Amino acid sequence: MKQLIYIAGAYRGDTTYQTYLNIRRAEEVAIKTWRNGDFALTPHLNTQLFDMIDGLSPDIFLEGGLEMLSRCDKVLMMRGWEKSAGSVVEHKVAQDLGIPIIYEE
């Protein structure tokens, strides 16, 4: 049975270019998820670079991501997720909700 998998990992980088690379990395993981026959929900792509728009708080994107996460069958934690404050929150919420967590190899 196909599952909806939330892709979690670092979004923001120290530079705009690093943020861009993080988004592209999430895209690669999402494509792999789709190729494996599941459905990827990838917040990196849903709101990419929206945090550069004046008046939009990064908190709203995390809040929206957590709502989406709560509706998923699994959460896939990308390599290096531990270094991202947002991903640490996503991991904790998934645990609290009892959503299975898988880790990128």
- Rounded to 10°, the helix 85-97/58-69 angle is 30
Domains and CATH numbers, the chain: 4-103 (3.40.50.10400)
- Per-residue pLDDT tens over the stretch 70-105: 999 999 999 999 999 999 999 999 999 999 999 998
Rg (CA), the chain: 13
Which pLDDT value is given to residue 98? Answer: 98
Task: Indicate if the pLDDT at residue 54 is higher than 90.
Answer: no
Closest CA to 52 of 20, 22, 25: 20
- Residue 40 to residue 74: CA distance in whole angstroms: 10
pLDDT in tens, 17-37: 999 999 999 999 999 999 999
